Structure 1
Amino acid sequence: MPLFHRQLIVALLFACLSLAAQAQPLRIVSEAWPPYIHDDNGVLRGLDYEAAHTVLQRLGVEVEWQLLPWRRCLMAMEQGQADGILDIFHTPEREASMLFPHEPLSQVELVLFYAKANPHPFHSLKDLHGLKIGVSAGYWYSDRAFRESELFTRESAPSHAANFGKLVRKRVDLVINDRRGGHFVLAQTGLDKHVRQHPRVISRDQMYLGLRRDAGFEELARRFANELLRFKREPAYAALQARYQNPAHARPAARPADKTANH
Structure 2
Amino acid sequence: MRHSVRPRAAALAILLVPAVGIAATPLRIVAEDYPPFLRDTGKGLTGPYADAFRLLMRRQGVEVNYQTLPMKRVFQQVAMQPGTCALAVNYAPGEAETLIYVGKVAPITLTVYVRQTQSEPITNIEQLRSRPVGAINIAEIRDLLGTAGIAFTPVDRPALGIPMLNAGRFDAFISDTRPDVQFIGGRGRPVKAFTLARAERWVACHAAMAPATLAMLRRALREGVFAAETLPVWHSYGMDSFFLETRQQWLQPAN
TM-score, with structure 1 as normaliser: 0.65
Matched, 1:183 2:210: no
What stretches of structure 1 of length at least 5 have no aligned partner?
1-21, 251-263
1:70-219 equivalence runs, <5 A? 70-78=71-79, 80=81, 83-102=84-103, 104-116=104-116, 121-141=121-141, 146-150=145-149, 152-178=150-176, 181-183=177-179, 186-187=182-183, 193-213=187-207, 215-219=208-212
Q: 2:220 aligns with which of 203, 215, 227?
A: 227
Letter in 2 for 1:194: G
- How far apart are 1:35 and its partner, in Å? 4.2
Contact 1:183–1:247 (CA<8 Å) still a contact in 2? Answer: no
Alignment-derived partner of residue 253 in structure 1: none
C-alpha RMSD of matched pairs (Å)? 3.8
Contact 2:122–2:193 (CA<8 Å) still a contact in 1? Answer: no
Contact 1:111–1:197 (CA<8 Å) still a contact in 2? Answer: no
- Structure 1 CA distance for aligned equivalents of residues 98 and 51 of structure 2: 25
Three-state SS of the structure 2 residue aligned to 1:113 is strand
- CA deviations on 1:121-174 (whole Å, 9 max, x unpaired) are 221122112123223335124985x45112x31222344433334434433332
Contact 1:86–1:210 (CA<8 Å) still a contact in 2? Answer: yes
- CA deviations on 1:26-74 (whole Å, 9 max, x unpaired) are 3322233344322469564433222211122233333221334434434
The 1:56/1:136 distance shift into structure 2, 3 A limit, reads same
Three-state SS of the structure 2 residue aligned to 1:123 is coil
The 1:149/1:232 distance shift into structure 2, 3 A limit, reads closer
Aligned length: 221
Which deviates more, 23-32 or 199-208?
Answer: 23-32
Tell me which structure has the larger Cα radius of gyration: 1
Three-state SS of the structure 2 residue aligned to 1:53 is helix
- CA deviations on 1:193-226 (whole Å, 9 max, x unpaired) are 423142521111121111122x424432221111
- Structure 1 CA distance for aligned equivalents of residues 158 and 75 of structure 2: 17
What stretches of structure 2 of length at least 5 have no aligned partner?
1-22, 244-255
- Structure 2 CA distance for aligned equivalents of residues 174 and 247 of structure 1: 29
Letter in 2 for 1:157: V
The 1:238/1:198 distance shift into structure 2, 3 A limit, reads same
Contact 2:102–2:203 (CA<8 Å) still a contact in 1? Answer: yes
Which deviates more, 111-120 or 221-230?
Answer: 111-120
Contact 2:158–2:182 (CA<8 Å) still a contact in 1? Answer: no
Letter in 1 for 2:172: L
Contact 1:31–1:70 (CA<8 Å) still a contact in 2? Answer: yes
Contact 2:134–2:154 (CA<8 Å) still a contact in 1? Answer: yes
- Structure 1 CA distance for aligned equivalents of residues 78 and 119 of structure 2: 39
- Structure 2 CA distance for aligned equivalents of residues 59 and 96 of structure 1: 28
